[in-house]
Structure 1
Amino acid sequence: MTIDAARAQDPPERLSTHDARQRLEHERNSRLSQLNALAASEHHAADDLLSVQLDAIQRVLKEIDLAFERLDAGTYGTCQGCSTAIPVERLEILPYARCCVGCQRRTA
């Protein structure tokens, strides 16, 4: 059996609940820091840009909250599109991802 064949038979790697929770907490804290910095900013000349930034951060915070719910429900790391495991590499970069890359592309 070749190494590639053995790898194909291995179950997909998953983030532990502890690691996932830590990554999500880090993301939440980062976004809250960004939100606080924008709120404290005195640069209101570009209110439209500020509004867009605030909306984007709020959307990500909602996605993070939904990821915590999936973690508690035991469905974290499972693609909501095709029900396969979301690759660990994707979750390391985007811990609140709901879909694998393929399903994300199809919905975009």
Structure 2
Amino acid sequence: MPLDTSESHPSTGRLTAHEARQRLEHARNSRLAQLQALDETGQSTDDQLMTAQAEAIRRVLGEIEAAFTRVEDGSYGACLSCAKPVPVERLEILPYTRYCVACQRRAAS
């Protein structure tokens, strides 16, 4: 399991639960700020692009909340498809990702 549940310094290639939570909180705060910025633009709610952007941000927020659940249940950092560890570099870029790169590619095609 690539998540180190201790709060101490991680071994190579692993995030601590604390680090995972920090990355997820940062991602959530960034998306909430994006939603607020969209709301403050004063654009009409009929604007399809703005609506699509807001929906995409809300989907990511849902993914972030699901990732928090995985941190709590100990499954964070394992691919939901193949159960192999998701590389820490991928988790640093997309802390809410559910899949390793190979499984994500298969799902997208």
With the length of structure 1 as denominator, give the TM-score of the two structures. Answer: 0.86
Partner residue of 2:88? 88
Q: How does 1:24-103 map to 2 (within 5 A)?
A: 24-44=24-44, 47-103=47-103
For structure 2, the residue ranges without an aligned partner over 5 or more in a row are: 1-10
Contact 1:24 1:68 in 2 (8 A): yes
The total of aligned residue pairs comes to: 98
Q: Is the radius of gyration larger for structure 1 or structure 2?
A: 1
Q: Kindly report structure 1 stretches of 4+ aligned residues shifted beyond 4 Å.
A: none
Residue 13 of structure 1, CA deviation: 1.6
Indicate whether 1:19 and 2:19 are aligned.
yes
Taking structure 1 as reference, are residues 93 and 20 closer, same or farther at Cα in structure 2, changes over 3 Å only?
same
Please give the alpha-carbon distance, in whole angstroms, between the structure 1 residues aligned to 2:20 and 2:46. Answer: 36
Please list the CA deviations of residues 34-92 of structure 1 after superposition, one character each: whole Å capped at 9, or x if unmatched: 00110111233970000100000000000000000000000000000110000000000
Identity %: 56
For structure 1, the residue ranges without an aligned partner over 5 or more in a row are: 1-10
Higher helix share: 1
Structure 1 stretch displaced more, 34-43 or 49-58 = 34-43
Q: CA RMSD in A?
A: 1.6
Contact 1:63 1:96 in 2 (8 A): yes
Contact 1:38 1:50 in 2 (8 A): yes
Taking structure 1 as reference, are residues 12 and 79 closer, same or farther at Cα in structure 2, changes over 3 Å only?
farther
Contact 2:45 2:51 in 1 (8 A): no
